[in-house]
Chain A
């Protein structure tokens, strides 16, 4: 018994000595940059990929000697995909004294954190939050490397009426900030163009599994096209249950639906032929930066990201690094000014990056993807 206790004491002392050693031997103080992502919770897979991606960029910068002679350190904050948790993560980031934050994935999750970062004057670059309202609040420190929903909504409206020749369109969203925002963004240009009728517009509850009730009600309106603007976890169930009910409408998903898991959940027989409106996927990126990034991702994780969001996260860190380097400072106000006014066509992994006055990324490229007979997503020619 006594021996055990002294062993424990030794262990405690050793740990203590070790932590002292670390503190003493550290070189120049690292620049802390936050990554806020859903590491656990329903979107954990997205969070995991974002963490992998950002780490690659950080390692690359550190191998090249860091920025301003200081290494980068990523401070990870797990918001669990929940708005409540998101606010807690934001508080933690402030107490950790990070100089900027990359994050996060969901729009409704981003909102509370971004409000806190704004008050504290901390640059935050979202990588998957595409809801319009995020940049409509006049925030000075909020940026995003992903594109805004209204651009995708207009793309869908044009695609549905011009390419698919749809006359009757149904839209179903999932009541999240993102899903509802995209649904609204698709509805407006569709109604303005008057080329097709919006015959059905309703919402499901995310996290549910049974959508047969709403789908049979939708089936009665006999739509040519269903635009589902929720996430892949529900999209797979929606297309499966809709086909089981015998509804023939063309399924078009938004850019949260495109993920290998969509095919797995729906089953290949049901998913085949489904369409998605989407920014180019990582595998379809043709820039030199994307080629080397994806090769490194493949080497580390044995696969490349199945969704584009993790790559936008990596680009977020690149923007922050470029800003610190150019501004020669980690002062968040200087970084924000640089990102707003001076950053011009920075070669990102997802193409050239510039921000407009509200923090949205300039330009936008959307494609229609289709699920092939062997379950791959390919751009529709």
Chain B
């Protein structure tokens, strides 16, 4: 039982990161019907910006740790969100009227560009977050180890996800996002500025990715310019699992994926965990192609 609970905690931690990244996929898909393959790289850039801020600025700033972490996250969030808007303007907007395939190819191009840019800026080596930045406290509750970092990751993700959900469901801007997701032209007729809605989506998605990136760096400490691809693929799977285009779906998908992975690795074999994850994805696509919570896309198609 202790073993099971331990895997559950580990799974929820990994799943929370997947979920944060998956939100970016799902929001962009929901509004633009575009699978933004560069999204994983925004996540990667977030972890690198966080790394640079910690090493170059915060090391000498002598601020309390909590303030350091908040400032680092905010800087990473802001710079990656701005980059997201810029990428949308440069690589996606000119192609909005073209076929969907063109936009996907453009997204892949952006992904390769960002990865290589990161390699040239920060070098091809693994970089490691400074040890002083990660809180090391941990609790052992009934034999189950829960570290402060794990709690932090789960807590931050939960707060962000609830906030995003409320924002989309309860505010006027949220209603405009939902309307744009259903139909761009009709939304425009209703007086919604579709361009600024899309810009907003590209602020929020990469921004959330950047926060996940900083959390990842603090938790595992090791970062690399290829990390975006690996996590991007998992998050993309999580988005599909929950039903792409569906915000609560991405959260459920991410958490579920994390838990499945950890239980697979814990009880069967770590070498096989990706096999189980993608097997479940294939079964899901065969029997419930819209994902667990995804009805809206099916409705539209």
Contacts and interface: CB of A to CB of B under 8 A. Distances in A.
Contacts of A236: 126, 128, 221-222
Contact of B131 (A210, A232, A268): A268
Interface in B228-282: 230, 261-267, 269-271, 273-274
Contacts of A44: 119, 124-125
Interface string B1-15: 001001100110110
A214 interface: yes
A232 B128 CA distance: 12
A42 B10 contact: no
Given A40-B116, A44-B125, A209-B222, 7 more contacts: A202-B271, A214-B270, A216-B3, A216-B266, A244-B145, A261-B126, A267-B221
A371 B273 CA distance: 32
Most A CB contacts (10 A, CB to CB) among B11, B125, B262 go to B125
A240 B124 contact: no
B266 A203 contact: no
Given A213-B265, A236-B222, A204 B126 contact: no
Nearest to B11: A213
Contact of B6 (A47, A48, A216, A265): A216
Contact of A40 (B6, B10, B124): B124
A264 interface: yes
Interface string A41-67: 110110110000000000000000000
Interface of A, helix, strand, loop or mixed by DSSP: helix
Contacts of B265: 213-214
Contacts of A45: 123-126
A211 interface: yes
- Going nearest first, the 3 A-B pairs with the smallest beta carbon separation are A44-B124, A213-B265, A214-B270
A214 B266 contact: yes
Most A CB contacts (10 A, CB to CB) among B123, B216, B220, B226 go to B220
A233 B224 CA distance: 9
A269 interface: yes
Interface in B204-226: 216, 220-222, 224, 226
Interface size class on chain B is 35 or more
B3 A220 contact: yes
A40 B118 CA distance: 12
Interface string B113-139: 000100100011110100100000010
A204 B264 CA distance: 12
A245 interface: yes
A210 B269 contact: no
A330 interface: no
Contacts of A40: 116, 119, 124
Nearest to A180: B271
Interface size class on chain A is 35 or more
Given A45-B125, A212-B262, A213-B7, A207 B226 contact: yes
A27 interface: no
Nearest to A261: B126
Given A44-B125, A213-B265, A245 B145 contact: yes
B271 A204 contact: yes
A48 B138 CA distance: 39
Given A240-B221, A265-B126, A265-B221, A213 B266 contact: yes
A246 interface: yes
A205 B273 contact: yes
B126 A213 contact: no
Nearest to B230: A207
A265 B125 CA distance: 11
Nearest to A173: B271
Interface in A266-280: 267-269
Contacts of A209: 216, 220, 222, 227
